Structure 1
Amino acid sequence: MSGVISGFTVIFIVVGVGYLLGRTHVIGDHAHEVLSRLVFFVFTPALLFHSLVTTDLSVVFSSTLVIAGGSAMLMGVIYLVIAKLWLRRPVPELVIGALSSSYVNSVNLGLPIAIFVLDDASFIAPLLLFQIVIYSPMALLALDLTALERDTGRSLVRDSLIAPITNPIVVGGIAGLVVSVLGLMPPAAVMSPLKMLGDASVPAALLAFGLSLTGVQVFKKGESPRRDIALATVLKMVVMPLTVYAIARWGFGQTGEELFAMVVIAALPTAQNVLVYATRYRRGQILARDTALITTLASIPAIAVIALLLA
């Protein structure tokens, strides 16, 4: 339990610093957008490349990858179907909502909890790889094709082929995976600056999240898409952990520490990266912001209950 408290304390302190910076306007009125763009175009691609190059892929490709990745994808699909039929949202908002309901905070909260609570950081690696190599590219491709203006006369097929190779996060993740599979190790002169830039991704994303909370009221009537947020939150914090428990327990026969770890990971909140994506494409920002905040607060008692029942 002390690991849970420690992980969330780190989160709240850095987010609080971002909020104070926003309230005092120390770094300007457009700091949130500038910082989000830095995270999207520089810090996160560097983090993904460095992480994948230095990760043992034999640990990643396991049943954990199937359970964690499959459940995340399932939550996203459920959100898409319900939000399309019930709320009738356009595609970009559907994509941001699907990510909000399933994209796990696997780095800045997942890693501390994996280390302090589960005593093994490798539990989070499969989900991290799935989100980097499969989930993010799919979502970003959909956003590239539907949220950005397209030149008249350009075909959808051409844009579909070009979009992945022009998205820095997708390029960073795929390049890191290729280098890792080939067994190559870039020289220290290359890896060291990438690590420095990558290390800035988590705190910068948290600071940007804190900045986004300045002068806003979460779940505000008439401004916040309450039904979308409620749907994403319920899927993320209730349905996803229960689904993972059922799949891991009865589908793969997991018990004890493995089962506990899988359910704890599923109960992690929505990643702040979703807000970074929403800010980049200027769609669904309030949905991403409010869902991230609410699920972060809700995950504290959720993980505590899981620990009491399964630890």
Structure 2
Amino acid sequence: MSGVVSGFTVIFIVVGIGYLLGRTHVLGDAAHEVLSRLVFFVCTPALLFHSLVTSDLSVIFSKTLIIAGGSALTIGAIYLVVARLWLRIEIPELAIGALASSYVNSVNLGLPIAIFVLDDASFIAPLLLFQILLYSPMALITLDLTVTDPALGHASRETTLRDAIVTPLTNPILLGGITGLAISAIGWQPPAAVMEPMKMLGNASVPGALLAFGLSLTGVAVFKKGQSPRRQIALASVLKLVVMPASVYVVARWGFGQSGHDLFAQVVIAALPTAQNVLVYATRYRRAQIMARDTALITTLGSIPAIAVIAFLLA
């Protein structure tokens, strides 16, 4: 338990520094965007590459992939059914809401928590690859088939199937992961001249992601009366922070017989907040943007006490 407390203390301090940097504008107005891009395009691919090259492939193609991926799809389906019957919202909003309730922030918070709390970055890799390779394309195709906003133009509709296939393959994080998996599969150990730069850049991923996360918390107001779809946000947030971890606990413990640290890791991963990718999709299709933004922030703030409770009960 002391290791978990120490890990969260590290995370809180670095996030707090990022928040102070944002409040004081020491790094300028574009700091969050620049730092986020550095983490996304350079540091995190290097971290994933190094972690997978030095890991056993059985860790990736394991129960974690089935549990994490299956739970994401299940929670998303629950949102679709409940929101459709209860709130009577349209399919594009349902698609964004389903993602908001189940698409995990596996980079900005997932990797730091995997490293500092779970002591192993490979715990988050299966879910990260599942979301990039399968979940994102499914969302893009669904949104394109159901969004009728003329402002999107015909070009978007004609190219979305291509984008759904090509975009994940050009994602730097996925490329780093696939390259690491391939090298690990053939049993080749790259020379130190290659691995050391990857290790150095990868070591910058976690502090960079936490600083970027802290920067993102400044100047954002959520849950405004008359603007935010509160019932949709509440439904997605409860599913993400309560139902998803609880269901993963049940499945992992009694369905797969997991216990101890493995069970703890599965539940912690399920309690991670909504990813910013959901807001990116909502903005692109001009549907449910406020819902995506507010759910991401609320689940981000709520995930910290949620994971703390999980750590207290299971660590």
Instruction: Classify the TM-score, shorter chain.
Output: 0.7 to 0.9
SS at match of 1:114: coil
When residues 67 and 279 of structure 1 are mapped into structure 2, their CA distance, relative to the original with a 3 A threshold, is closer
Q: 2:308 aligns with which of 294, 300, 303?
A: 300
Q: Aligned pair 1:7/2:4, yes or no?
A: no
Q: CA deviation at 1:288?
A: 1.7
Query: Counterpart of 1:130?
Result: 126
1:57 aligned residue = 57
Question: In the alignment, what sits opposite 1:288?
Answer: 296
Quick one: which of 119, 137, 142 aligns to 1:141?
Answer: 137
Any conservation in 2 of the 1:137–1:164 contact (CA below 8 Å)? yes
Is 1:207 matched up with 2:220? no
* Distance (Å, rounded) in 2 between the aligned partners of 1:152 and 1:63: 37
* Alignment deviations for residues 248-278 of structure 1 (CA, whole Å, 9 cap, x no partner): 3332344x5267535643564327xx23674
Question: Could you tell me which residue of structure 2 aligns to residue 118 of structure 1?
Answer: none
Change in Cα spacing, 1:166 to 1:62, as seen in structure 2 (3 Å) is closer
Per the alignment, do residues 194 and 257 of structure 1 end up closer, same or farther by CA in structure 2, a change over 3 Å counting? same
**CA pair 233-98 structure 1, distance change in 2 beyond 3 A:** closer
Give the equivalent residue in structure 1 for 2:178: 174
Unaligned ranges ≥5, structure 1: 116-120
Change (3 A) 1:197 1:101: closer
Native 8 Å contact 1:237 1:295 kept in 2: yes
What is the identity, as a one-letter code, of the residue corresponding to 2:124? Answer: L
Matched residues in 2 for 1:57 and 1:222: separation? 50
Matched, 1:216 2:212: no
What does the per-residue CA deviation read over 1:147-187, in whole Å, with 9 as the maximum and x for residues that have no partner?
99884684444333322222222222222222221222222
Alpha-carbon contact 1:48-1:132 (below 8 Å) kept: no
SS of the residue corresponding to residue 220 of structure 2 reads coil
Structure 2 residue matching 1:108: 3-state secondary structure: helix
- Distance change in 2, residues 1:188/1:205 (3 Å): same
Q: Which residue of 1 aligns with 2:148?
A: none
Q: Does 1:275 align with 2:276?
A: yes
TM-score (norm 1): 0.78
Distance 2:206 2:82 in 1: 31
Counterpart-to-counterpart distance in 2, 1:236 and 1:20: 28
Q: How far apart are residue 17 of structure 1 and its match?
A: 0.8
Tell me, what secondary structure is at the counterpart of 1:270? coil
After TM superposition, the score normalised by the length of structure 2 is: 0.77
Contact 2:248–2:267 (CA under 8 A) maintained in structure 1? no
SS of equivalent to 1:55: coil
Matched position secondary structure for 1:292? helix
Preserved CA contact (<8 Å) 1:17 1:207 = yes
Question: Residues 225-245 of structure 1, C-alpha deviation per residue, up to 9 Å, x if partnerless?
Answer: 543442233223322232123
The two structures, once aligned, show a CA RMSD in angstroms of: 3.3
Moved more, 22-31 or 174-183: 174-183
Question: Using the alignment, how far apart are the partners of 2:52 and 2:210 within structure 1?
Answer: 22
Supply the distance in 2 between the matched residues of 1:259 and 1:192 (Cα, whole angstroms). 29
- Equivalent residues in 2 for 1:16-31, closer than 5 Å: 16-31=16-31
Query: How far apart, in 2, do the equivalents of 1:30 and 1:220 lie?
Result: 26
In the TM superposition, residue 23 of structure 1 has moved relative to its aligned partner by 0.9
Q: Quick one: structure 1 residues 233 and 128, their matched pair in 2 at CA, closer, same or farther if it must change by over 3 Å? A: same
Instruction: Output the amino acid matched with 2:276.
Output: L
Gapped regions of structure 2 (runs ≥ 5): 145-151, 284-288
Aligned residue among 249, 262, 266 for 1:245: 249
Where in structure 2 are the equivalents of 1:27-46 lying within 5 Å?
27-46=27-46
Aligned twin of 2:286: none
- 1:70 paired with 2:66, answer no
- Gap change, CA 1:40 and 1:213, over 3 Å in 2: same
How many equivalent residue pairs?
A: 296
Matched position secondary structure for 1:217: coil
Q: Using the TM superposition, give the Cα deviation of residue 6 of structure 1 relative to its aligned residue in structure 2, in angstroms.
A: 1.4
Query: Counterparts in 2 of 1:55-204, with a 5 A limit?
Result: 55-83=55-83, 86=87, 87-88=89-90, 89-90=92-93, 93-94=96-97, 96-100=99-103, 105-115=109-119, 121=120, 125=122, 127-142=123-138, 151=155, 154-204=158-208
What is the Cα deviation at residue 2 of structure 1? 1.9
What letter is aligned with 2:272? P
